[in-house]
Structures are given as structure tokens and as C-alpha cells.
Structure 1
Amino acid sequence: MTTPHSASQSTQPHPTLTLHPGDVSLAELRRIYRGEVRLAMADSAWADVRAAQATVQQIVDTDAVVYGINTGFGKLANTRIPHDKLAELQRNLVLSHSVGTGRDLPADTVRLILATKAVSLARGHSGVRPELIEALLALANHGVTPCIPAKGSVGASGDLAPLAHLSCTLIGVGEAIVDGRRLPAVEALAHAGLKPFELGPKEGLALLNGTQVSTALALAGLFAAEDAFAAGLVAGALSLEAIKGSVKPFDARIHAARGQAGQIAVAGAVRELLAGSEIVDSHRECGRVQDPYSIRCQPQVMGACLDNLRHAARVLQIEANAASDNPLVFSEQGDVVSGGNFHAEPVAFAADIIALALAEIGAISERRLALLLDTGLSGLPPFLVRDGGLHSGFMIAQVTAAALASENKSLAHPSSVDSLPTSANQEDHVSMATYGARRLGDMAENTAVVVGIEAMAAAQGIEFHRPLKSSPLIETELARIRERVDFVEVDRYLAPDIEAMKQWVLQGDAGAGWPQAVRAVLPAQGEAG
């Protein structure tokens, strides 16, 4: 998926964001993703990093046998590696695991991977040198984007293949992009004034083990899902206005009686969006009793989506701050302990529920769109065009929306229920988190198109109620929509309009002008407000 944040458009120097391992917020992660900041590690992190590295060095110096430091890996963990081969061991690990395939991950996602990998290593449980962490941040700050093939990870033992490709750039192998040019990694580093990094004991393994690729992809999906959710909230309010739907189902008492937090928040947001609407006042005492579910049950459906997005956000924030290496170093006790924090099951579950939310945001949006076009239900001109028959209006735009909503239903199948054993059955259960997170980009783009078409159609419908005005907030958003697309007076080439409305969703325009009470319902955007 091509995102609007793949490269920074500003020529001004970015402010520096100081990373505090274990305490990086969702708002900060979003700023990193958008490329709005330079990165620096908090000085307070270095003591723990150095202590863990000293523990590793002591193991090397005493020739004690510890997995990941002087042994083989995976099924070869019982193979002892001599002291003079330890640097070669780490380099070989990186090279042998660089087996990814497919298109490269987007630059914004790679930037987030670099940041979260640095944060994970800086927790002080990986035993790496501070210089390695600084080298990761230098790649991000100098605009060097490792070319990381998107496919090839099963989400345990960590995102091995994609993180190996990232690590290759550090050591001057493979390819990277700098200043828009794809270059051999060693040339890309030189172009940025950097040198290849020489790995020390355990450092290759520490780079490869971890859930940072799955987590970054899932965070990218979460951020896009937030934009889709915000736009879906607005589009739903627009559609309610266009069909002169009843606002009674949004009464706060109804939602308090059920007690679901997301539902209560959505109903409140819709009430605020519609406050002061002449259209609502024009039919407040009409005999309309019950609207179709796609209008009436917006708080129940979108509220459930919101609750799931909030849960996913909590899980992903924890994981973005986690030490997901293996083995882990506990320097106070001088212990190096093998475990399984590399298993990305929490990320897989989070990605799956984001997928469900994206599918449902698009599904209910498509149903509202279909309602708008059905003159028998909406009371609007057929297909929202004045001279129907000669002109088809939004007829086939709804077909596109239906196709994408249906595609998302297939993509929403949980990836976490699948597993295939790897490494000669040593790694006999895996999370499939990486695919689960990666498909969110396609799903978000599909949902953005569906919601964008609905918003454009609903804006069209509201025009048929002039001179009545909607609420001040909705009128502001209608003006934003009209900056992107014109009223459909007669049939025209609509593909550019659909693309423009997709960007209205993905660039976050839907939430830009709303009061804090509306923006605050979103997990990461509200935190920044």
C-alpha cells in the first residue's frame, strides 16, 4: 500500500524525539511513522545497555557456553562455536537469514521498524553495545531505508528474514534507498556519511530476534484504521443527514443502558457532529420510526470497532516497547535466559481484530451507500442524479464499493489460527503475525475507497435538501469535500474523484477540524490532542 507518509515533504529540520525505552507512546509512534521527528535515545537508557553488554562480554571472556553467544541457532543450538569464530557467526547468521521475497516494505514502516528495534535493544536485556543502537537511529535520521522484502516471516522466532535484510544494510550488504535512489547498501551508507557496522557477540541474533516488523506493520494498519474510523464516523453522519434519518437512536440514555464504552463514545460523537442542524430540525417531529440498521445501529457497530481498535492499540504500544529478543540478559543476576518473547501471538491477535474492524467499517459504509442510491428508501433521486436514465450517477461507484467490501471480508479471515512448523520442528507453532499485519494495508485502502465513495454520495444527497443547512461541523466537512470533488451534475469520469476521496480518508482530513470530543475517541490521535 502506498501511504501519504512514505516520505517527509518538509524541508525544515525536524525536531528531535527522545525515546524512553518502555515508555514510547502511541502518539510518538505515529510521529515516527509520519517522519516528523529525528530520533535520539534517552541518556537514562545507556546504563542498562552497558550492564547487559558487560554480562555478555564476561561470558565470552570466560568461555562459558550460552545459547546465542557461542552456539549455533535453532535446531543447531547444541553446536559449540570457538572464540575466534564468534564475529563470523553473527555475520553468517545475518547473511543466511536474508531470504525474504516480494515488494519492499514502505519507507514509513521501515522507519518505525528501526525505531522500535532500537527501543527494544535499549531495554537493556539484549547484551548489545550502545554503538549498535546508535547505528540503527543513524539510519533513520540520515534517511537510509533498508530494502526489506515484505514476505518471508512466520512471526516466530521473531521476524527473522525481514530483520536480517535490515541488518544487512547495517553491515554494508544488500540494498538501501537514500535520497530516492536504490543503491548497494555500502554505497547508500557512504552517501549518508555512515560506515558498515561490525557485529560483536550476540548482536546479529539480537537484531534478528524480535517482533518489530510485525509490530510496525500492525501499527501502520492501526493508524490507517483510525483514519478510516474517523472518516466512517463522519460519512455515517453525512448519510444520516442525506436521508433525513432520525437522531433518536443516538439518545445518550439508550447507550448508557447498555454500557459499552465504544458505543457510548460513538453516539456522543454523532450527536456533536449533528448539533445545530437545520436538516435535523426540519423533520424532528416526522412519523419516521425506524431507519435501516446501517443508519440506526451506527453506535453499536462502530462502537464495537472502536473498542477493538482501542484494545489493539494497547497491545501494540506494549509490544513496541518490549524486549522481544532471545535469549534475554538479566545483568543484575548475571543470567542469560532463553524464552519465547519473539513469538508474535499478541501482535497476530491485534492485527486480526484490526482487520475485523476495517472490514466492518467498510461493510456498514457500503450498506449506507446502497441506501442512499435507493430512492424508495432514501427519498432522494435515483442514484443521486437529477436526470436519471440519461445519467447513471453513483450506480457503478456503489458496485466498486461492494467489490472492495467483499474483498475485505475474505482478507479479514484470522491469520493467527494458522501455523506451520519450521526449523525441523523445533519451532513447531508460529503466529503468522507478519502476514496478518501486512494485509492491513490493503484492507485499509479498500475501506478508504468505500468510505470515501459514501461520503461523496452523502454530500451529493445533502445538496438536494438546500437551502436547509446541516450542522456547522458537517457544513465545514462538506466544504472540505467540495475542495476535492464537485457535485455530480451529469455523468463524468469519476475515477479521479474516487482517488481524491480515498486520500480524504487516509490523510486524516476527516478528523482535522473536529473538536477534541470527537478526536479524543481515537486511540492514538486522541492521545496527541
Structure 2
Amino acid sequence: MLILDPEAITLSTLRQLWSGAPARPDEAALARIDASAAAVSRIVASGETVYGINTGFGLLAQTRIPGERLAELQRNLILSHSCGLGEATPRHVTRLMIVLKLLGLGRGHSGVRRVVTDALQALLDGDAMPVIPSQGSVGASGDLAPLAHMTAALMGHGWIDLAGERLPAAAALERMGRAPLELGPKEGLALINGTQFSTAVALDALFAAERVFGAALGAGALAVDALKGSVKPFDPRISALRGQPGQIRVAGELSRLLDGSAIVSSHHRCGRVQDPYSFRCQPQVMGAALDLLENAARTLTIEAAAVTDNPILFSGEEGDDAISGGNFHAQPVAFAADTITLALCEVASLSERRISVLVDPKMSGLPAFLTDDGGVNSGLMIPQVTAAALVAENRSLAFPASVDSIPTSAGQEDHVSMAPIAARKAAVVARNAAGVVAVELITAAQGVDYHAPLATSPTLAALHGEVRAISPHLEADRYWADEMAALQTAVLEGRMSGGFHLGR
């Protein structure tokens, strides 16, 4: 059980939460939650008009709600906003979203009672994931629809996936021994204002990208050996002169991966001057992509425990303040998600170009399409086409959602971030990129086989063995789809990444 300090969240902790580690906020967070709930009680008792506590919402913010209707106000808010469409959000992303909501509430500026956070914690502890449609948020006044579906489930509306069994929310709560949640003043708004859906989806894409990137480094190094390419472009002195941190790290990783390769040693003085850019410029291109991913990781780590609802409560000796601001606007998340997409587009593009070089006998010096009996056999001709198709699809998804905006709520919300669209696109691009890297792993392994008895490096030999456990050496044409899909899954599960992590 991870005991989480909402004021000190790290990327490593988020990676553990994404992987399903059980967690709960620490006692200090619970004390802050109690204090902020007391502030709301004092505001209600004072009779002061405060947005979201005793007023309507959005364009109806000027409408004062009488005290006897405050519970109805919160209930109607959740039901009216539970209007998402599309496929259900994956369970592990929903779980991460709930954890992020607990972290934000645990900062003690949202005004919810402990009963609310207890209800959220019960979902985590009971493996009870609300069924949340993935479409319907523009990432502006919070992820309103997705978070409303989460909250509605706590109230007994909608659906809950209870340990893999989809049930009406009321039935799931009864099985869990929990009564439907009744919301108090401010609580509905605190739960649905916020960027937790967008951030959870973006983190899912980020950690997938991390695994794809690690696998692409291994595939790229293996491809260098398959080509009998030069390792001189990875000389640390070159990258040090440019100074870009991603480039320096990638050059070092490639040198490490190729260290001890008998294939490299065999052509040390071959006279070959330059390799194609997709081989030679890996530090520059992959390094630039890595810098984007690192920046996205910093943004999303900050956002994971940010206070992003509205109004935000502040209490002190001079009394209680409820200040309406704009922390719910998810522009930082939108930019981060779009940069993940851009980085992955280039990782996959570079990978596909190396595949193309290796299957072309004029470029590689290897048999055409890496098969000995060409003509009767097509070899790796069409897997390269599949990689090209995935790269083309990624390019069509690369237009940044973060620069789009459609005004909503009768113009009150006149600029929106589109963060959830950006994040969902990034997740698709990550899966596509994993497919391209899977094809490169097959191609590079086949190319290395042609250099036997010369061996690749010990590190790359281990990667080669992982590939061969899924995709045997190609002797003659065979049905490709299943092993390509299995390798794509292995990339996404991190089995081909060599332990590569962001944030070092």
C-alpha cells in the first residue's frame, strides 16, 4: 500500500500507480480535507453568496440557491453532466483518475467532507471502477462529463465494473456494502471540476511512450548491427558539443547497447563513411523526442496532484476565502499530450525508415526483403508496408488538439483546451508506434542473423532472444499477423524496453 503525500508526488510514484499499486492519501491529507470541509460549513452558515456553494453554475452563476435546495443543486449537477459517449475508459486509466482526484482533494482546498474521499477510496479498495464513456470532455471547466460519471456511480447511478463484472451502480454499491453517496454543498462541483481524466489518459500515453521509446532504442541499435553500420556517430564528444540533454543520453544508450558487438568489430576499418540519417542521426532525432517526453513528464507530474477545481478555498486568521479562478483549464495537459504525440510520430517514422533500408538490397547489402528464396517468398516486404501504414496514420493524428477550441456553455467557457482529445490521440499513436517498432525488431533480428557466426553485443543478443521467442527466424513465408501483434504487445508491456525510464 502506497501512502501518498499529495504535496510530494513523483514520476516514479505515478508509474507505480499506473501499474496498479494500491494506494491511499496520508493522514496529513485527511486532516486538510476535514479543515476545508469545515470552511464550507462556515461559509454556508454565514449566508454569503459564493459560486458553486449556493449559486448555479456556468452562465447561471448569478442565480442564488436557497439553503433547502443545496443538496438538490449538487445532485442535479452530477446527473445533468453525466452525458458522455463512446467506448468505456480502460479500467486502469479510470483507477488512476480516481487516485488523482484523491490527490487533488487531499491538498485541502476543495471543501469536500471525509465521507466523499472515503467513497472514492472504497472504489479503489474494492476494485470497483465506474464505467466512464471516453468522449464528452473538452478539458476546460474540468473534465465535466467523465468525472460526473465517476461521481454518479458513487450516488448509485450509471454502471460500475466490479472486479470485471459490469453491474448497475446501485447493485454494485449494495454488494460492496456501501450506501449511495449524498453530496453536500460544493462537493459535486469539487468532484467534476478538475483535469484528472485528461491527466490520467495523458499519463497512460506517457508511460506507454516510455516503453515504446526504450524498445525503439534497442531496435535501432540492433538495426545498426544488421546494417553493419558505424558507431562513430554515437561518440559522446559529438553530442557534448551540441549540448542537448536528450541527444547526449540517446548517444550514450546506443553506445552501451552496441558495446561488445563482434559485428561492429568486424568492419572497424571498412572505409564506409556515412550511414543513412535514420541510422546516423538517431541521437539527434530520438534525443529531441526524448526531451519532449521528459518535458511532458514534468508537466504531468505537477498536474497529478494539482488543485484544479473551482472555487478554491483558502482559510486563515482573517477568515475563509472562496476564490473563483481557472485552474480547471487543462491547457498544460493538452500541450503535454500533443508533444507526446509529436515525439512518438518521429520515433515511429525513424524506425520505419530503418526497416525500409534493411529490406532494400541496394541500401543494406542483404538479400532483398531478408529472404533467401526471393520471388517465391516475399519475406519482410509487406510487414514494412504495415509499418508505413501506421506511420501515415500517426501523421494524420499529429495535428495538435491543443490549438483547437470550440466555445461552450453559452459562451461562458469561450476557450477550451481539448486536452482529453489530445490525450486520447496520444494513446492511439503510442500503440501504432509500438507496432512499427515491433516490425523493426523482427527486421533487425533477421538482418543480424545473416552475419552469423559473428555475434551482436551481449545486451543486444538478449534482446534478439526475446524477439526470437515470439518471432522465429524467417526461413520461408508464413502468417505474420499474430506474431507481429504479440511483439507489439510485448513492446507496450515493457518487455522490450531494456528497463529504460524517463526522469533520470
Fold-level match, TM-score > 0.5? Answer: yes
1:214 maps to which of 198, 204, 214: 198
Offset, 1:182: 1.0
1:32 maps to which of 9, 12, 17: 17
2:237 maps to which of 250, 253, 258: 253
- For residues 386-405 of structure 1, the aligned pairs below 5 Å read 386-405=372-391
1:428 maps to which of 414, 417, 424: 414
In the aligned structure 1, how far is the partner of 2:433 from the partner of 2:244? Answer: 24
Residue 358 of structure 1 is matched in structure 2 by 344
Q: Does 1:499 align with 2:477?
A: no
Question: 2:167 is paired with a residue of what secondary structure?
Answer: strand
In the aligned structure 1, how far is the partner of 2:369 from the partner of 2:174? Answer: 58
In the aligned structure 2, how far is the partner of 1:147 from the partner of 1:383? Answer: 46
In the aligned structure 1, how far is the partner of 2:242 from the partner of 2:342? Answer: 22
Q: Does 1:90 align with 2:74?
A: yes
Residue 319 of structure 1 is matched in structure 2 by 303
In the aligned structure 2, how far is the partner of 1:321 from the partner of 1:179? Answer: 26
Offset, 1:510: 1.9
Residue 428 of structure 2 is matched in structure 1 by 442
- For residues 123-134 of structure 1, the aligned pairs below 5 Å read 123-134=107-118
Question: 2:411 is paired with a residue of what secondary structure?
Answer: coil
Offset, 1:323: 0.1
In the aligned structure 2, how far is the partner of 1:497 from the partner of 1:457? Answer: 13
Residue 202 of structure 1 is matched in structure 2 by 186
Offset, 1:60: 1.0
Q: Does 1:416 align with 2:402?
A: yes
Offset, 1:246: 0.5
Give yes or no for contact 2:52–2:189 (8 Å, CA) kept in 1: yes
Q: What is the letter of the counterpart of residue 26 of structure 1?
A: L
In the aligned structure 2, how far is the partner of 1:78 from the partner of 1:139? Answer: 35
Residue 57 of structure 1 is matched in structure 2 by 41
Q: Does 1:234 align with 2:221?
A: no
1:102 maps to which of 48, 65, 86: 86
In the aligned structure 2, how far is the partner of 1:503 from the partner of 1:68? Answer: 45
Residue 322 of structure 2 is matched in structure 1 by 336
Question: 1:416 is paired with a residue of what secondary structure?
Answer: helix
Q: Taking structure 1 as the reference length, what is the TM-score of the superposition?
A: 0.94
Moved more, 394-403 or 128-137: 128-137
Q: Does 1:70 align with 2:54?
A: yes
1:464 maps to which of 437, 450, 461: 450
Render the CA deviation track for 1:96-153: whole Å, top value 9, x for unaligned: 0011000000001000000000110111010111221121121012110101000000
Q: Which runs of 5+ in 1 are unaligned?
A: 1-15
Question: 1:454 is paired with a residue of what secondary structure?
Answer: helix
Give yes or no for contact 2:43–2:320 (8 Å, CA) kept in 1: no
Question: 1:490 is paired with a residue of what secondary structure?
Answer: coil
Residue 162 of structure 1 is matched in structure 2 by 146
Offset, 1:19: 1.3
In the aligned structure 1, how far is the partner of 2:400 from the partner of 2:121? Answer: 34
Render the CA deviation track for 1:247-270: whole Å, top value 9, x for unaligned: 011111100010000000000000
Question: 1:127 is paired with a residue of what secondary structure?
Answer: coil
In the aligned structure 1, how far is the partner of 2:298 from the partner of 2:242? Answer: 24
In the aligned structure 2, how far is the partner of 1:251 from the partner of 1:469? Answer: 22
Question: 1:102 is paired with a residue of what secondary structure?
Answer: strand
In the aligned structure 2, how far is the partner of 1:190 from the partner of 1:240? Answer: 59
Q: What is the letter of the counterpart of residue 241 of structure 2?
A: A
Offset, 1:478: 0.7
Question: 2:2 is paired with a residue of what secondary structure?
Answer: strand
Offset, 1:511: 2.8
2:104 maps to which of 120, 128, 152: 120
In the aligned structure 2, how far is the partner of 1:249 from the partner of 1:25? Answer: 34
Give yes or no for contact 2:216–2:437 (8 Å, CA) kept in 1: yes
Question: 2:63 is paired with a residue of what secondary structure?
Answer: coil
Question: 1:145 is paired with a residue of what secondary structure?
Answer: strand
**Quick one: percent identity of the two aligned structures?**
55
Offset, 1:230: 0.4
Q: What is the letter of the counterpart of residue 18 of structure 2?
A: Y
Question: 1:424 is paired with a residue of what secondary structure?
Answer: helix
Residue 133 of structure 2 is matched in structure 1 by 149
Q: Taking structure 2 as the reference length, what is the TM-score of the superposition?
A: 0.98
Residue 349 of structure 1 is matched in structure 2 by 335
In the aligned structure 1, how far is the partner of 2:496 from the partner of 2:114? Answer: 42
Offset, 1:483: 1.1
In the aligned structure 1, how far is the partner of 2:122 from the partner of 2:18? Answer: 16
In the aligned structure 2, how far is the partner of 1:139 from the partner of 1:39? Answer: 12
2:6 maps to which of 17, 21, 45: 21
Q: Which runs of 5+ in 2 are unaligned?
A: none
Offset, 1:193: 2.8
In the aligned structure 2, how far is the partner of 1:225 from the partner of 1:67? Answer: 40
Offset, 1:45: 1.3
Residue 497 of structure 2 is matched in structure 1 by 511
Q: What is the letter of the counterpart of residue 11 of structure 2?
A: L
Matched pairs, number: 502
Offset, 1:191: 2.2
Residues 268 and 244 (structure 1), Cα distance of their counterparts in 2 relative to 1, 3 Å cut: same
Render the CA deviation track for 1:167-189: whole Å, top value 9, x for unaligned: 11111100111121111001112
Offset, 1:192: 2.5
Offset, 1:50: 1.6
Offset, 1:64: 1.2
In the aligned structure 2, how far is the partner of 1:103 from the partner of 1:366? Answer: 30
In the aligned structure 2, how far is the partner of 1:504 from the partner of 1:467? Answer: 28
In the aligned structure 2, how far is the partner of 1:113 from the partner of 1:331? Answer: 27
Q: Which runs of 4+ in 1 moved over 6 A?
A: none
Question: 2:410 is paired with a residue of what secondary structure?
Answer: coil
Render the CA deviation track for 1:215-234: whole Å, top value 9, x for unaligned: 00000000010011001100
In the aligned structure 1, how far is the partner of 2:200 from the partner of 2:403? Answer: 21
Q: What is the letter of the counterpart of residue 43 of structure 1?
A: E
Q: Does 1:369 align with 2:355?
A: yes
